[in-house]
Chains A and B, each alone.
Chain A
Amino acid sequence: MDIKIQAKHLNLFYGTKHALKDVDLDIKKNAITAFIGPSGCGKSTFLKTLNRMNDYVKNVKITGEVTLDKENIYDSRVDTTILRKKVGMVFQQPNPFPMSIYDNVAYGPRIHGIKNKKQLDDIVERSLKAAALYDEVADRLHTSALGLSGGQQQRLCIARCLAVEPEVILLDEPTSALDPISTLKIEELLMELKQKYTIAIVTHNMQQASRIADYTAFFLVGEMVEYGKTNDVFSMPKDKRTEDYITGRFG
């Protein structure tokens, strides 16, 4: 299977804190890769290095390399706006903008210069459909996004991410604030979306990782301890630390 993103000898320091330790990891194209591990293990930090969200953190120092289609994303010539268009992100708390559903989804395309109404209408409809939200909001596209339920808001955020036609979607605990039904809807959606996109997800929910991820990486105090096919990691982990964590013996 093709590799979409590759981390090579990736180290990250927050000041003197060594938050990622020499991480090597390949993220496969059109697959879901889950990052699991106890709080503070570095999994979210790692996720954020994949579209340079850590650039905004003070005193951060990164060594090593992250490549997207074999191009180093930390090269000084890389335009991070274009990078983040290609590598979109969805966060733990649904964070719709305080504007209409339509404007939320059209926001990105407008920033990237699309002004034609018909074209924007098409993008909004297509993105909402791809995020499995269209049928629920088709008759109220111009009402406030803040009136949607938590699960709908999160799917709106995914639609907003899809509207700029990314290649990779990063999700940082996207369902931890959602009820079980909304969670299952997002999981089903991600399984659909992987046909077209490469997906990386941080999750605290072990069952979620085992349900939806093709590959799983286990992080512990900044180290990537084990990485493999999800079925292997959850049935016959190679490292005792992985076994202890996933079976709830520590963490």
Chain B
Amino acid sequence: MFRLIKTLNRIALIKATVAALLVIVVVFAGSRNLQNYDAALIGYLFGTVFAVFGIAYRYSVWLQRPPTRLYWRRSWEFLLSKDFVPYATRSLKLFFRNILFQRFIYPRGKTRWIGHFLLATGCLIAFAVTIPLTFGWIHFTLDPDSDTTYIANFFGFPVSTFQLGSPMAFAAFHALVWCSVLVTIGAVMMMKRRMTNGGLIATQTFDGDWLPLILLIAISVTGLGISYDYTFLQGRTHQFMAVIHAITVILFLIWMPFGKFFHIFQRLAQLGANIYKVEGSRRGMAKCPHTQQEFASQTHINDLKDVTKDLGFDFTLEDGRSHLDFSPEGKRSALAKAHFQARKEGGHFFG
């Protein structure tokens, strides 16, 4: 955001191009040179390739910022150390807890967590279903020996079979319907918050906060439309439903690198921040010269001194110490004391 990212970034461009090409490669590999590819999904594929390009570009630019780079570097350094096993286990646990279940939202508000969890779960399952389909990794074929048995193929290899009309089949073919329901409920809950909570009303923006929810609902509703058409209208409006759904999804994909949805990818950094904190406190804590209390890891303080210097700040004091050696309370007290002193020298504590 600040400095450094004003111009087009060559490294990011290269990385993004590589990522986009890689997607195309895996599509070819997964669909056996497109022979298993469902041509109806090609629009989605283009959208996805664009999204991957955009996300990779933004991610790469993001990683170039000094604080992010530092966290990135430190996270891998600490993870790939002799303590790989405990840190990997910890990260895995946190991945489930905080990424898949977003438990950290719970203390921010119970309904907020429920809403977000429904919405996120719907999205994640939908991604898990649609990405392999869009990439042509999964396709279904009829068992030549039985016209009621379906075979699911992954990368062209048969992995499971199920009977047409079985509960399993019903669940699988309607997976996206369930996702749509979850997303819609979640998004409505989040919208309700945004309409009644005074704090949110004051600070929200249309493109930052409402558009994502509207898009999610649009995708869900149009997706349900396809299912509705198929189930109750014998496919009479299929063309219309399919096109309008594709438009919403492709809009979503194209917008993903730019808008709020990018946080899905940023959120992973939370795992790194956690390892950083644990390893940092193991290496020793910094003690505030004012409060005489430990307040952060010494590693963190030292790293911050470097990072702030990279960013053009210099909190070094005349005696060689740094303002950053003080805890937040120590900093506030230092200011208060300096103010008291200045008032005293001015002849009155009060003025």
- A is bound by B: no
- Identify the B interface with A (CB < 8 A): none
